[in-house]
Amino acid sequence: MSPNLHARARALLSDPLTNKGTAFTEEERDLFGLHGLLPPHVGTLESQIVRRRRALEEKENDFQRYAFLRELQDSNEVLFHALVQSDLPRMLPLVYTPTVGDGCERFSEIWRRTRGLFLSYPNRERIDEILADPAYDKVKVIVVSDGERILGLGDQGAGGMGIPIGKLALYTACAGIHPSEVLPILLDLGTDNHALREDPLYVGWRAPRVRGAEYDAFVERFVEAVDARFPGVLLQWEDFAGKNAYDLLGRYRDRLLSFNDDIQGTAATTVGTLLAAVRRTGKALADQRIVLFGAGAAGSGVAEMLVQAMMAQGLDETAARTRIWAVDRDGLVLSDFPRLPPQQRKLARDPAEIADWDVDGRNLVSLHDVIANVRPTVLIGTSGQKNAFDERCVRLMADGVERPVIFPLSNPVSRAEAHPEDLLDWTDGRAVVGTGSPFATPGITQVNNVYIFPGVGLGALAARARGVSDGMFMAAARRLSELGGATGGLLPPVTDLRHVALEVAVAVARCAQEEGLAGAGSEATTRDAIAASMWAAAYD
């Protein structure tokens, strides 16, 4: 065998996009010089799934399973995705929330080999050069984070790369985006997590976070490079801190085909699920009294989409906003608060409205105070504050509300505002509950962004959209709300996620057509055309 054939054989086995392991046929082993590098058994993808599943379940805990799956993805992409797609209910919590939180916190500990790109501040002059690698010629979807606000865990620096990797695995599993067409990127601008900077295992840039004008200039350089290198690419902003999340979305949503999943994806998922939930209460969304606990990027995004949804039901904007009470770290958000961020100004209440309220404390109007005076029908948590929905608050809410709707949406599980079993207990089983993280409680719907973002991305790409509009997200939310209920849950079962992504994609693509944002003809946005574009894991 020639040295070139030896090198080609090893390259074939070391590339996760081409490696088939024992599934290489005898003919392929002859052709590529693989004899001796593989055991003589010729397997199938199905037998490989059985073998890997057995090895996975022998691990002692979910973090070890997460690490195992990451290593499998880095050695054989098709097998990894086939395993994930073979059992989505079992695999999604391991690939993404809640286990990805541990994966981000311990990212440096388990880092083995390259996946995606780390664009660090010291390499800011090399971004174009880095993106020029021909390996990325097919990229259609990028998920990017700067690691500053990972789930409810805060600043994880370079460990935040676990989020883009996980999100893109879901794009493939649910929307059928081919693994060669996705690219996870971490903008490494340092970290203010002192423990990480002092950790000898930390793989990121050991410096305090770059902020202000230098931060903005770095992101601008990144966006310019992406726009030049990948015309028409879909870019998803992920887990940026509140102000940066809003600033970047506002600055670039009309320059790139892009969206922020924490703001827009969370909003669409929550509103879609809430539309399904209020049907069970027998009252329209516009008739609800909604308390939103947590007014950061996610919470503010939910509030704005709720306003749009209520306006679609006949309320004017002012009336819609009076149906929402936002509570943040300083209590009920009031208009006389100093330095309110722009997204909270729209949610702020006039202090005169609460002048006659009976409140527990003098310095802030607490969540309990708001519940006691508003008597909400809907309570949504996006705060990252564990057990914030305590028994006192929940029982007070449920007193006089026949079917209280309660969504503790923060994740991972360690940051959830309440446990669903407690919510059912404190409301005598009357609560309609949706959670951000998966719980074992029967009948509880997980309000997971995976129901929205893969379909939004797929639909936008199918339509060759010039942007992702608020209308496209509203179309996604409405379609999602129509898909649940067959098995008793507010949303379809996780086993149906590929179907959900397809249905959401069709709704989004049609909306892009209606709004004049589509670059593709209507024939490219039919259900059959979009379905035909979705890749399923199989060896070529």
Catalytic residue among 66, 96, 171, 252: 96
For 46-65, what is the mean pLDDT? 98
- Dump the DSSP string for 401-457: -SS-EEEE--SSGGG-S--HHHHHHHTTT--EEEESS----TTPEE--GGGTHHHHH
For 248-253, what is the mean pLDDT? 96
E runs forming strands in 436-490? 445-446
User: Is domain 93-255 annotated with CATH 3.40.50.300?
Assistant: no
pLDDT in tens, 183-227: 999 999 999 999 999 999 999 999 999 999 999 999 999 999 999
Which CATH superfamily, name and number, covers 282-443?
Answer: NAD(P)-binding Rossmann-like Domain (3.40.50.720)
E runs forming strands in 230-369? 234-237, 257-260, 290-293, 324-328, 331-332
Q: How many CA atoms lie within 13 A of 496 on its CB side?
A: 14
Query: Which pLDDT does position 489 carry in this prediction?
Result: 83
pLDDT in tens, 467-478: 999 999 999 999
- Dump the DSSP string for 359-389: -S-SS---HHHHHHHH--SEEEE-S--TT-S
For 46, 152, 246, the CA distances from 411, given in Å and listed in that order, are 33, 6, 20
CA dist., res. 498 & res. 503, Å (int): 9
Contact 480, 272 (CB under 8 A): yes
The arrangement of secondary structure in 450-532, i.e. its CATH architecture, is 3-Layer(aba) Sandwich (3.40)
pTM of the model: 0.94
Query: Which pLDDT does position 485 carry in this prediction?
Result: 61
Q: Is 373 annotated as a binding residue?
A: no
- Dump the DSSP string for 492-529: --GGGHHHHHHHHHHHHHHHHHHTT---S-GGGGSHHH
Q: How confident is the model at residue 414 (pLDDT cuts 50, 70, 90)?
A: confident
Q: Which residues contact 370 (CB under 8 A, 6 or more apart)?
A: 291, 325, 327, 332, 376
Determine the Cα angle at 444 with ends 425 and 454, to 5°.
Answer: 150
Domain ranges of the chain: 3-85, 93-255, 282-443, 450-532
Contact 243, 341 (CB under 8 A): yes
CA dist., res. 465 & res. 254, Å (int): 11
The single-letter DSSP state of residue 404 is: -
What is the SS3 assignment for 185?
strand
The two domains 3-85 and 450-532 share their CATH topology (first three levels equal): no
pLDDT at 392 over 90: yes
Contact 441, 414 (CB under 8 A): no
For 293, 330, 386, 493, 495, the CA distances from 302, given in Å and listed in that order, are 11, 19, 20, 23, 26
User: Partners of 334 in the beta sheet?
Assistant: 349
pLDDT at 487 over 70: no
pLDDT in tens, 158-177: 999 999 999 999 999 999 99
pLDDT in tens, 226-248: 999 999 999 999 999 988 999 99
CA dist., res. 56 & res. 42, Å (int): 22
Determine the Cα angle at 474 with ends 265 and 314, to 5°.
Answer: 135
**Sign of the C-alpha dihedral computed for residues 376, 382, 385 and 387 taken in this order:** positive
Catalytic annotation present for 66: no
Query: Which pLDDT does position 486 carry in this prediction?
Result: 58
Q: Is 260 annotated as a binding residue?
A: no
CA dist., res. 345 & res. 338, Å (int): 10
CA dist., res. 405 & res. 380, Å (int): 8
Query: Which pLDDT does position 369 carry in this prediction?
Result: 96
CATH fold of 3-85 = Hemocyanin, N-terminal domain (1.20.1370)
Query: Which pLDDT does position 456 carry in this prediction?
Result: 98
Catalytic annotation present for 59: no
pLDDT in tens, 309-319: 999 999 999 99
For 283-310, what is the mean pLDDT? 95
Q: Is 61 annotated as a binding residue?
A: no
Amino acid present at 528: D
Catalytic residue among 167, 171, 215, 246: 167
Q: Is 238 annotated as a binding residue?
A: yes
> Rounded mean pLDDT of the chain?
95
Q: How confident is the model at residue 364 (pLDDT cuts 50, 70, 90)?
A: confident
Residue 321 CB neighbours (<10 A): 20
